[in-house]
Amino acid sequence: MSEPEESTKRTRPCPYCGASMVHRHCEYVCPHHGVVFDCSDPFYG
C-alpha cells in the first residue's frame, strides 16, 4: 500500500529521524512518527 504523494508536498525533515515529512492540510507528518507538527505547534510553518 503506497502513499499518495501527488496531493502532498515534502517539506522539512523530521526532527527525530530526519525523514522527509509530508505537509498535509494542517499537519507535518513523518512516515515513521506520524504527525509531528500541526497548526497549533510553535514550530509549525
**Site of interaction with Zn ion (CB under 5 A):** 14, 16-17, 19, 30, 32-33
Closer residue to Zn ion, CB minimum distance, 13 or 26: 13
Q: Residue 13 Cβ, how far from Zn ion at the closest point, in Å?
A: 8
- Asked if residue 18 lies in contact with residue 12, where contact means CB atoms within 8 angstroms, the answer is no
The helix or strand, by DSSP H or E, that contains position 27, with its residue range, turns out to be strand 27-30
Closer residue to Zn ion, CB minimum distance, 18 or 26: 18
Q: How far is CA 15 from CA 6, 21, 26, 43, in A?
A: 23, 10, 18, 11
Closer residue to Zn ion, CB minimum distance, 24 or 32: 32
